[in-house]
Amino acid sequence: MRCKKPHFLMEIILIPLFYYVLLGFVIIFSVINNLDLLLKITNNNFLLNIYISFELTISSILIIYSLMNINYVLLVIGILIFFSTIYTLWIKDEAVKIMNSMGNKYDYTGAFFCFLIAGLIYYFDFTG
């Protein structure tokens, strides 16, 4: 007889999915209203550390979920997000300079990648 997984663990994938969708919409809202929230976050060291810790937590949740469900594509996505976030933490000063030089292009790129990651998580979780 097979061991049944707890029900709450099956819905843990909704945390990264909703995070990336919500972050994408926040970035779009920021672009529409000329708020430049991502530039303000990256220029403030405290807010940047909070953002990086959220990214690390979300990628860890994605990695744990993919290991529980034996979904290797989500595992690769989670590991890529985790290592890119660790790398950003390592080169924080250079990353802030790059983000400041890109300006609004960084907002568009960030929104695109948030929706892309959310779409990949949705596709590979519900079809895998």
E strand intervals along the chain: none
Q: Which pair of structure tokens corresponds to residue 78?
A: 């989670």
Domain ranges of the chain: 12-126
Give, for all 128 residues of the chain, the pLDDT tens digit.
455 666 666 789 999 999 999 999 999 999 999 998 988 998 999 999 999 999 999 999 999 999 998 999 999 999 999 999 999 989 999 988 988 898 788 899 999 999 999 999 999 998 87
Per-residue pLDDT, 12: 92
Per-residue pLDDT, 84: 95
Per-residue pLDDT, 36: 87
Asked if 93 and 21 count as a contact pair (C-beta separation under 8 A), the reply is: no
Number of residues that this document lists for the chain:
128
Judged on CB neighbours under 10 Å (0-12, 13-18, 19+), 59 is buried
Q: Which pair of structure tokens corresponds to residue 73?
A: 């594509």
What is the three-class DSSP state of 35?
A: coil
- pTM of the entire predicted model: 0.89
